Amino acid sequence: MTAPPSAAPMLSVEEMSVGYGRRTVLADVDLRVASGSITAVLGPSGCGKTTLLRAVAGLEPITAGVIAIAGRTVSGAGRHVPPERRDVGLVPQEGALFPHLTVRRNIGFGLRGRAGRRERVDELIDLVGLHDLADRRPGSLSGGQRQRVALARALAPAPALIGLDEPFSALDSGLRTRLRAEVGVLLRSSGATVLLVTHDPAEALALADQVVVLLDGRVHQVGAPEELYTAPADFRVGELFGELNRLTLDGEVHFLRPHELTLARTGIDGLPGSVAAVEFRGSHHLVSVAPTDGQPPVAVAIPATGEVPEPGTAVVVRAGRS
Ligand SMILES: Nc1ncnc2c1ncn2[C@@H]1O[C@H](COP(=O)(O)OP(=O)(O)OP(=O)(O)O)[C@@H](O)[C@H]1O
C-alpha cells in the first residue's frame, strides 16, 4: 500500500543531476518513494536508470541536488555517505552472487557478526522458498532461483530501501512473468520500500504503486500505473505502454490505443481509409488502415472471433471499443 502523501518519504531525490565526465546523464530528477511502497523507474535502454540506482546507493557522485534516505541527506549539500552506510540493499542486474558460497551463506553475507543471524537466514530461505537448495552453490541453480537468492540476500538486513536493477531481464518470458508475480508477493509481505528500474512496461505496471517515466535522463511523468496507461502526458510516454495511434478525427488530435478504435463499413461518420495489412496477435487481429486523407496508418484491434477484412477493403475507423 502507498503511504499517505503527508508521510515522510523513505527516499527523496530533489533536483538531482549526475554526469560522466562532462556529459550530463541525469538532469533535475525529482522522486519520492513512500515507506513500504514500490516505485518503478521505467525507460528505454540508456536513459539513465542504472545511473539513478547507483547514485541512490552511493556508487556514483551527484553533480547537483540532494538525495535523502529515511530523512537523512546521503548525497548533496556537501555530503557523500559511503554505500555501506546508506542502508540500501542493491540487487544488481544478473544478481551478482558469490559463486563460492552456498545459498545459505550468500543470504547471510550482510548479517556477519549480527545476533540472530541463523534465524534470520532461515526466515529468508522460507520466504523465497529455497529450502531444498540452501546448501547448493549459485552455479548449480537456475536463473530464477539465483534471482530469488539475490533478493533474499538484499532483504536479509532489512534495509531502509531495496534497489532492483532489471531483476528479470536475464530470464525467458514465461519464467519472467511467473517470478515477477512471486517477487511482487514477496516484496509486499516483507514490507520493503523498493526502487525498481526496468525497461519493461508490463513489469512496471504489474509491480509498482508509482511509476516514474525516465526519458533521456529526465523525468517525463510520475503517476499510478493506471494513470500512466490511460492518461500519458505525451505521445512518447503513451507509446512506452504499447501500441498507440496519434490520429486526427473531426479536426482534433487524439491518442488512442488499437482497442479503443473500431472498424465500420463505409458510408458512416469516421475516418475513411483502406485496409493495408492484418496481423494475427492471438487474442485479436491488428488491422492497419491507411486513411484516405494521407494521415499515417492507424492500428485497430478487432476481436479474434470477429470478421477479418481483406487488405484493400474500404473501411471507416471510429472511436469506441468493439
Ligand atoms: N561509467 C560510465 N562512464 C561513462 N558513461 C557511462 C557510464 N555508465 C553509463 N554511461 C552512459 O550513461 C548513459 C546512461 O546509462 P545507464 O546505464 O544509466 O542507462 P540505463 O537506462 O540503465 O540503460 P540499460 O537499460 O541499457 O542498462 C548511457 O548513455 C551510458 O552509455
Q: Which structural domains are found in the chain, ordered by start?
A: 11-87+159-238 (3.40.50.300), 245-319 (2.40.50.140)
Atom of ligand 1 nearest to the CA of 53: 18
pLDDT digits (tens, 9 = 90+) for 193-203: 999 999 999 99
Ligand 1 lined by 147 (C-beta under 6 Å): no
The H-or-E segment that residue 143 falls in is helix 143-155
Ligand 1 lined by 20 (C-beta under 6 Å): yes
Residue 302's nearest CA partner among 312, 314, 313, 320 is: 320
Atom of ligand 1 nearest to the CA of 214: 21
Ligand 1 lined by 151 (C-beta under 6 Å): no
Selected residue with higher pLDDT from 173 and 80: 80
- SS3 assignment for 183-199: HHHHHHHHCCCEEEEEC
Ligand 1 lined by 50 (C-beta under 6 Å): yes
Torsion angles phi and psi, residue 59, rounded to 5: -90, -10
Ligand 1 lined by 29 (C-beta under 6 Å): no
**Among protein residues, the one whose CA lies closest to atom 26 of ligand 1:** 45
pLDDT at position 124 is: 87
How far does the centroid of ligand 1 lie from the alpha carbon of residue 50, in Å? 7
> Given a cut of 60, is residue 5 above it in pLDDT?
no
On average, the pLDDT of the chain sits at 90
The H-or-E segment that residue 181 falls in is helix 173-190
pLDDT digits (tens, 9 = 90+) for 73-103: 999 989 999 999 999 998 887 768 899 999 9
Under a CB-based contact definition with an 8 Å cutoff, are residues 44 and 215 in contact? yes
pLDDT at position 7 is: 64
Residues 6 or more apart in contact with residue 195 via CB below 8 angstroms: 11, 33, 39, 41, 53, 56, 161, 162, 163, 164
**Among protein residues, the one whose CA lies closest to atom 14 of ligand 1:** 48
pLDDT at position 62 is: 96
Ligand 1 lined by 235 (C-beta under 6 Å): no
How far does the centroid of ligand 1 lie from the alpha carbon of residue 52, in Å? 10
38 pLDDT band (50/70/90 cuts)? very high
Ligand 1 lined by 280 (C-beta under 6 Å): no
Apex CA 291: angle with CA 285 and CA 295, to 5°? 115
Residue 136's nearest CA partner among 186, 100, 183 is: 100
Ligand 1 lined by 199 (C-beta under 6 Å): yes
For residues 272 and 266, give the distance between their C-alpha atoms in angstroms, rounded to a whole number: 7
What percentage of the chain carries pLDDT values higher than 70? Answer: 97
**Among protein residues, the one whose CA lies closest to atom 10 of ligand 1:** 20
DSSP state, 98? -
Handedness of CA 178, 181, 186, 189 (dihedral sign): negative
For residues 21 and 107, give the distance between their C-alpha atoms in angstroms, rounded to a whole number: 36
Ligand 1 lined by 167 (C-beta under 6 Å): no
> Given a cut of 80, is residue 254 above it in pLDDT?
yes
Cell of 217: 535522463
